[in-house]
Amino acid sequence: MEPVADPVVPAPAPPPIYVTQPELPPLQDFVAALEQIWDSKFLTNGGQFHQQFEAALCEYLGVEHVSLFTNGTIALMTALQALGIGGEVVTTPYSFVATANALLWNGLQPVFADIDPATFNLDPARIEAAITPRTTAIMPVHCYGNPCDVERIEAIAKRHGLKVIYDAAHAFGVRQDGRSILRHGDLSVLSFHATKVFNTFEGGAIVCRDAAMKQHIDHLKNFGIADEVTVVAAGINGKMNEVSAACGLLQLKGVDAAIGKRRAVAAHYRRLLAGVPGVRCMPAPVHEANDGYFPILVGDDYPLGRDGLYQKLRDAGIHARRYFYPLISDFPMYQGIASAAPENLPQAAAAARQVLCLPIYPGLEPGAIDSIASLIKSS
């Protein structure tokens, strides 16, 4: 029999590059923590890792109280319950859908206000214009970890007697003038989902300022149980388990180094993309950022357009993301709300049309950044 010639094997395609890649603690450290959990048989309900992680987070973030949760969405829903929010809540259409979903799950009416195109955050003037007699709270998002105009929002809330719940899912470790951005508002909510700057696989937290509120939140996340025979509220199960808490404790050790590497990736992109026609990067932040996202604005003068660039990168195995497109206000369950009308949200609509978030994570190689920038430039 004739030997069959080897078929010509094409060079394997390089592995795809996703918009983010999660950080993980050293495996042997995680295994050692798992061994402790196995030995103790204490799996959840505020075990030693949960307690240590809460204390370590307060210290790292520079905040008074942290209550850990199973994920950021349940934390958002619980935060609204903890403050007894009713009626209408002014929020942003330019976010991940969980922001508004948390309102609907609490039977609240979202009222969308437009964003400031310089920061992608709620425009305080538009917040104030959206307030009605039924408004009880404002739920802004520190979009991409950019701090909201916290002072003006606080002044508006005071003037109208409103609560402020920050969706701070993007804002882990963000500081302004040396102080945590999470100290603002009545409550701030973090997400530790795998795609975020800091992860516990799944997880989240509520940050609050006083011990009584922390106690109330801790009851709410544990069915409302105060002790063996006492239930004080119709709570939910939002508790973080010991494996996630142990993971978080280990992750804290590496988070500064990880954010430092992200910062270098962002700086590299900014250098390479400066002056590319039709493409605009956000200016380097003046606050202590976490570089969780690297949004670029792709203008109408960019030959391929935003979606053309998105597809071109995708064809090359690079999965940039159109965060946030579509707007929350364009999803079917929100579309019918009066404030969801596109005329009410022109800046949010423009951002949704133009933004592309490029891959950014600590392990993203400089060579990959060069390739991504070359693809963007060559259009």
Ligand X SMILES: *Cc1c(COP(=O)(O)O)cnc(C)c1O
User: Residue 141 gets which letter from DSSP?
Assistant: B
Site string for ligand X, 330-359 (x = CB under 6 A): ------------------------------
CA distance 90 to 53: 32
Stretch that binds ligand X, among 120-128, 165-173, 341-349, 352-360 (CB under 6 A): 165-173
Q: Give the C-alpha separation, 317 to 345, whole Å.
A: 33
Nearer to ligand X, 20 or 73 (CB): 73
Strand-strand pairing, 225-227 and 230-231: antiparallel
* 59-67, 92-100, 126-134, 335-343 -> range binding ligand X (CB under 6 A): 92-100
Distance CA 277, CA 272 (A): 12
CA 264, 266, 267, 273 dihedral sign is: positive
Write each residue from 125 to 144 as x if it is in contact with ligand X (CB under 6 A), else as -, in one continuous string: ----------------x---
- Out of 20, 44, 67, 95, name the contact with ligand X by CB under 6 A: 95
Instruction: Name the nearest CA neighbour of 123 among 82, 159, 98, 94.
Output: 94
Min dist CB 39 to ligand X, Å, is: 29
Q: Which helix (H) or strand (E) holds 109?
A: strand 109-112
- Residue 96 found at the interface with ligand X (CB under 6 A): yes
145 belongs to the binding site for ligand X (CB under 6 A): no
Residue 117 neighbours by CB distance under 10 Å = 16
Residue 165 in contact with ligand X, rule: CB under 6 A: no
Does position 73 interact with ligand X (CB under 6 A)? The reply is yes
Q: How far apart are CA 99 and CA 97, in angstroms?
A: 5
What is the DSSP code (8-state) at residue 358? E
Cβ closer to ligand X: 204 or 235? Answer: 204
Of 193 and 268, the one with the shorter C-beta distance to ligand X is 193
User: Distance between CA 153 and CA 168 in Å, rounded?
Assistant: 15
- The reply to whether 98 sits near ligand X by the rule CB under 6 A is yes
CB 75, min distance to ligand X, A: 7
Asked whether 188 and 166 are in contact (CB, 8 A), the reply is yes
20 binds ligand X per the rule CB under 6 A: no
Question: Regarding beta strands 225-227 and 88-91, do their DSSP bridges make them parallel or antiparallel, or are they unpaired?
Answer: unpaired
**Cα 182 to Cα 63: distance, rounded to the nearest angstrom:** 7
Residue 321 as a binder of ligand X (CB under 6 A): the answer is: no
Q: In the bound complex, what is the minimum distance in angstroms from residue 169's beta carbon to ligand X? A: 3
The mark string for 169-198 relative to ligand X (x by CB under 6 A, - otherwise) is xx--------------------x-x-----
| Min CB(274)–ligand X separation in Å | 28
Q: Contact positions toward ligand X, by CB under 6 A?
A: 71-73, 95-96, 98-99, 141, 167, 169-170, 191, 193, 204
